């Protein structure tokens, strides 16, 4: 038995998210079927985190265990030949037996992209959220600055239908940039709550539109309660950008 680690990119448009589920086509199920086709084994592919339906990944980290004697080059070519074109394996390598894609992650970066011009280019419609009304990026930055740090983010998460004993997280970066009509929100943390990034983006968009003053962000944090005052942004603008580990973590 050996453990393999791979870096996966996918277009989440037609998928019901990462996590396998009884009904619905998911990234995890599609990857596991490709692995089974190559090796004849039933495996569980463990991702660094779950992405929602319609959310994309530039670099999702995954591990799985196998008895197959294929080299990593054979795995790489074989999986990309079996996977649909909207899922690609960028890299695959041998991992330490105790490496875990989720538990060993030190930080995750998500990027949320907004097309803030009158006309959305049709080829970007699945990868940007379109807002025609001009957004005040300075107000968005002011609200983002309040959110950076270690806080209880209960007001910025959705109900995951499971017990979450601790909703405190450290948001080390929440940065808003604007270039040529495109607004990008970068969020980095050691871990995110369920729909937390989309909730942060939804709040910042409301601040940018003038619907909510930036100063109200402190009150929302302090409330520790999710209400309709925080909206969840659409999924198509969100990308799991990269996952950070200790140097050489998971490699042999």
User: Per residue in 79-89, pLDDT tens?
Assistant: 999 999 999 99
Report pLDDT for 217. 96
pLDDT at 22 over 90: no
Whole-number Å distance between alpha carbons of 169 and 167: 6
pLDDT band at 11 (very low <50, low <70, confident <90, very high): very high
Report pLDDT for 251. 54
Contact 237, 201 (CB under 8 A): yes
The DSSP bridge partners found for residue 115 are 130, 182
Distance of CA 5 to the CA centre of its chain: 18
As to burial, measured by CB atoms within 10 angstroms (0-12 exposed, 13-18 middle, 19+ buried), residue 73 is exposed
Distance of CA 33 to the CA centre of its chain: 22
User: Per residue in 107-122, pLDDT tens?
Assistant: 999 999 999 999 999 9
Report pLDDT for 246. 86
Residue 52 annotated as catalytic? yes
- Ranges 49-58, 160-169, 172-181, 222-231: which has the least confidence: 160-169
The CATH number of 107-242, from 3.30.70.660, 3.30.1650.10, 3.30.70.890, 3.40.50.1010, is 3.30.70.660
Torsion of CA 39, 104, 20, 44, to 10 degrees: 20
Provide the residue ranges of all domains of the chain, joining segments of one domain with +: 2-104, 107-242
Q: What is the mean pLDDT of the segment spanning 40-67?
A: 96
pTM assigned to the model: 0.94
- Percentage of the chain exceeding pLDDT 70: 96
Whole-number Å distance between alpha carbons of 33 and 236: 25
pLDDT band at 252 (very low <50, low <70, confident <90, very high): very low
pLDDT at 172 over 80: yes
pLDDT at 183 over 90: yes
User: Per residue in 126-168, pLDDT tens?
Assistant: 999 999 999 999 999 999 999 999 999 999 998 766 677 899 9
pLDDT at 249 over 70: no
Asked whether this chain's domains 2-104 and 107-242 adopt the same fold, the reply is: yes
As a whole number, the mean pLDDT across the chain is 94
Report pLDDT for 173. 98
Q: Of these residues, 52, 104, 163, 166, which one is catalytic?
A: 52
Indicate the CATH number for domain 2-104: 3.30.70.580
The DSSP bridge partners found for residue 89 are 8
Report pLDDT for 158. 86
Q: What is the mean pLDDT of the segment spanning 236-246?
A: 96
- Ranges 53-67, 130-144, 237-251: which has the least confidence: 237-251
């Amino acid at each position: 038995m050996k453990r393999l680690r791979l870096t996966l990119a996918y277009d989440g448009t037609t998928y019901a998210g990462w996590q396998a589920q009884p009904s619905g086509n998911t990234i995890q199920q599609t990857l596991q079927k490709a692995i089974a086709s190559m090796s004849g084994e039933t495996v569980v592919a463990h991702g660094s985190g779950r992405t929602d339906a319609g959310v994309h990944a530039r670099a999702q980290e995954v591990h799985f265990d196998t008895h197959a004697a294929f080299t990593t080059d054979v795995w790489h070519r074989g999986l990309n030949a079996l996977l649909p074109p909207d899922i690609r394996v960028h890299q695959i390598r041998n991992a330490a037996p105790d490496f875990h894609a989720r538990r060993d992650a030190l930080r995750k970066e998500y990027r949320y992209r907004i097309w803030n011009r009158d006309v959305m280019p049709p080829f970007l419609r699945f990868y940007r959220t379109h807002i025609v009304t001009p957004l005040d990026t300075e107000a968005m930055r002011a609200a983002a600055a309040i959110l950076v740090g270690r806080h209880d983010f209960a007001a910025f998460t959705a109900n995951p239908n499971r017990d979450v004993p601790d909703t405190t997280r450290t948001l080390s970066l929440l940065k808003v940039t604007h270039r040529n009509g495109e607004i990008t929100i970068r969020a980095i943390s050691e871990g995110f709550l369920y729909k937390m990034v989309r909730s942060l983006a939804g709040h910042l968009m409301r601040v940018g539109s003038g619907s909510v003053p930036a100063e109200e962000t402190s009150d929302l944090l302090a409330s520790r309660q999710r209400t309709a005052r925080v909206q969840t942004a659409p999924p198509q603008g969100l990308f799991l950008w990269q996952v950070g580990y200790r140097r050489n973590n998971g490699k042999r």
